[in-house]
Amino acid sequence: MMAAFFSIDWAEWINLALRWLHLTTGIAWIGSSFYFVWLDNHLKPPAQGGASGELWSVHGGGFYHNQKYMVAPPAMPDDLHWFKWEAYWTWISGFSLLVLVYYIGAGSYLIDPAKLALSQPAAIGIGLSALAGGWLVYDLLCRSPLNRDTRLLGAVWFAVLVGAAFALCQVFNARGAYLHVGAMIGTVMVGNVFFVIIPNQRKVVAALGAGQVPDPALGKAGKTRSVHNNYMTLPVLFIMLSHHYPMTYGATRPWLVLALIGATGVSVRHVFNVRHKGASGAPFIALSVALALLCVGYVAAEKAGAAASGPAPTTYADVQPLFAKHCTGCHAARPTNPAFSEPPLGVLLDSYAHARAVAPRIRKVAVEAEIMPLGNTTGMTRAERDTLGRWIAQGTPP
């Protein structure tokens, strides 16, 4: 029994636990965010009393009567619920996953020697700097005159994120770059809660307890940051799922694909917001569809262009040296890589027949996802991956 206990792969179980926690707390946080924005957009002037708005709703067999006070109620209730731990634990679990997968495993999942030969500490330092720098830039934007125009501030912040995505894609492998952009957005969102929304609410509660009139600017600032979070939710949710879809981060310009998908998410979120206020949202529905189709069309055109470029046809004679250089050290009947005594997953790439049989898998993990060779220890270049992609797209000519 004791031997079995010490043979447990604790890293995998910790990974599973953190992902489950991240998913659970993320649902709780984003769910409450969506609900309160929906609630704000449906409030009506109250029939009586000092509230700024009210809403009657029905759910789960019961009726609910919600009232909102723009600044604060005349007297503080005995039981006041604070929405904060959902946000905090979403970030804590997400950052823990970032450390476990991308920082401890930087050599395999973050560093791409073909782009930049980083040491593990250097890669981690760049990643952490991106998270901290993202918050600092965003917070400065919110405290600048740009804050007077929400749309202009949003456009500038979006441009900052696209620039960060471009820069990170030049430094890290594309999947690691995507996850860091998502972590930047998540850090900004939790920073809004921790540094602005909750402290402002505490100041309002303290003012009421002291018999003073709370400053309306405190609630306004918290509401503004909350709305910003609302628009960032769908892009960050996509990034959480993006590692399952290598056709996005495996594009030649993955930062552009991320920008298009992110803009689509923002547009879709705006559709919900304007419809909650009673508008049709038709122009923004059309914009969302157009952005989505533009993204899909761009990726398809890029792949078609890559398949058509170069000498035609690309034959096995063109790709066999690539297999020998980057693949057969592991994927051969007798691997020369000392880490393996047999080919991983039984995949052999030491002959035309073997490579042709697993061509779809090669396209996914080596051409699109760029996760093979593992950690790109052999320095496989984008041009070499494109050559493999052309060979597969042309039907794997012998």
Q: Could you tell me the pLDDT band of residue 310, with boundaries at 50, 70 and 90?
A: low
Taking the C-alpha atoms of residue 209 and residue 215, their distance in angstroms, rounded to an integer, is 14
Q: Would you say the C-alpha torsion 113, 117, 120, 122 has a positive or negative sign?
A: negative
Burial of 59 (0-12, 13-18, 19+ CB in 10 A): exposed
Taking the C-alpha atoms of residue 119 and residue 136, their distance in angstroms, rounded to an integer, is 26
Q: Could you tell me the pLDDT band of residue 3, with boundaries at 50, 70 and 90?
A: low
Q: Could you tell me the pLDDT band of residue 309, with boundaries at 50, 70 and 90?
A: low
Please compute the mean of the pLDDT values over residues 14-24 and round it to a whole number: 93
Give the Cβ contact number of residue 219 at 10 Å.
Answer: 19
Tens-digit pLDDT profile for residues 187-221: 999 999 999 999 999 998 888 888 888 888 888 89
Q: Could you tell me the pLDDT band of residue 22, with boundaries at 50, 70 and 90?
A: very high
Q: What does the pLDDT read at residue 97?
A: 94
Token readout for 63 is: 């009726």
Averaged pLDDT of the chain: 88
Taking the C-alpha atoms of residue 330 and residue 347, their distance in angstroms, rounded to an integer, is 9
Phi first, then psi, for residue 153 (nearest 5°) are: -60, -45
Q: Could you tell me the pLDDT band of residue 232, with boundaries at 50, 70 and 90?
A: very high
Taking the C-alpha atoms of residue 302 and residue 164, their distance in angstroms, rounded to an integer, is 22
The gap from C-alpha 249 to its chain's centroid, in whole angstroms, comes to: 11
Tens-digit pLDDT profile for residues 149-164: 999 999 999 999 999 9
Q: Could you tell me the pLDDT band of residue 341, with boundaries at 50, 70 and 90?
A: confident
Please compute the mean of the pLDDT values over residues 285-295 and round it to a whole number: 95
Q: What is the amino acid identity at position 132?
A: A
